[in-house]
Structure 1
């Protein structure tokens, strides 16, 4: 793993020295702030009653589509330039001739986008602080919700990293990644459509909606964490093999 930290710092700097990361973070926080505001207003309008049978924190993380829509856009945009831009500009040749292994290159680039993704969610802790100042907060729910949203995002970013390695066009990488994520997300929603049987069971298992609903109630299913880890490891393995193929021509 020699060379991991220099590449990690280089990628993190490249993300934040350009407007891309700042625009994405600003748009993400604006959208989620609006999302949080809608929930709080509706909760207050219900005279303190919970939305459904839960509180505003649970509703924010587990009961609206507004949590997922930004992820299907932001994750592809964060990862689209990782390899595609280097291949287009030719700088990938310099990187591949350096004494750095392909796993270190892939993991460093991926870790930089994951750190940026986590940084996007960090300011949303202020929403929890606001709720805590006006009522009770179940911190177990907060912990499981953030764990799940990071785990889901980690898988989405891994898929985006893979698509960036399979093309030399940032736009193509972003589109392919977005299509793949949307199909995966929609298949998970098939748990509400498919009849009882193996297909529905698989859809339920991969459903981000169900995972976040469970997390918003303080529940973490180890089988889902194994699935999340698989969604991370398989695309990254394919990416490593792609990078090794470039190195050996």
Structure 2
């Protein structure tokens, strides 16, 4: 039976790759993104009833409106994949206010908003997957705020699992390593990118030598997670890039 699967940040990158992989097996994808044109393009590509909604998960009102529209159109949600996130490398003294606020509002509060508003649309056996980052454990330079926001999201995911398990809702935290595809761009000005690379080298992290996975490969893991039998849950999964 086809499931209704919501993915945040589905207009590009990992979110788009997961949507493509799940749609290939007949699931109905509901794609959320800040830029409506991007998620509409992906939905049109997927077909099979996929549709897109504009949603800035850092805004409680935007999330509330999106899930109200999902309830009206689809009735229920079987799987929510919280993929959307923001990050930029900054030292702790140079980081602008909006980067601090944006990291917390999107990477922590945004996940909380989406989980809160999806739960009334879920039945027993439904699933929430929150995507974290290896940077929680790897001491990258200049990622303090991203690391802190993802660590907060991980703790929230653990607490959420404890709270909703009695209702039959499964919760998974997926901590992912480095990944990209042919369309990947970073958009960091050269000076900060240079200092980020050099700072990591000083910490023994050579980014040029670290393996990087393809988004399509990582998407296969989410296919497996979504396909788990209803009496099985994986509370945490660590995805590490490796050389093929």
* Structure 1 and Structure 2 fold alike (TM over 0.5): no
Which interval holds the TM-score relative to the shorter structure? 0.3 to 0.5
Higher relative CO (CA 8 A, sep ≥ 6), structure 1 or 2?
Answer: 1
Structure 2-normalised TM-score?
A: 0.32
Q: Which has the higher helix share?
A: 1
Q: Which has the higher strand share?
A: 2
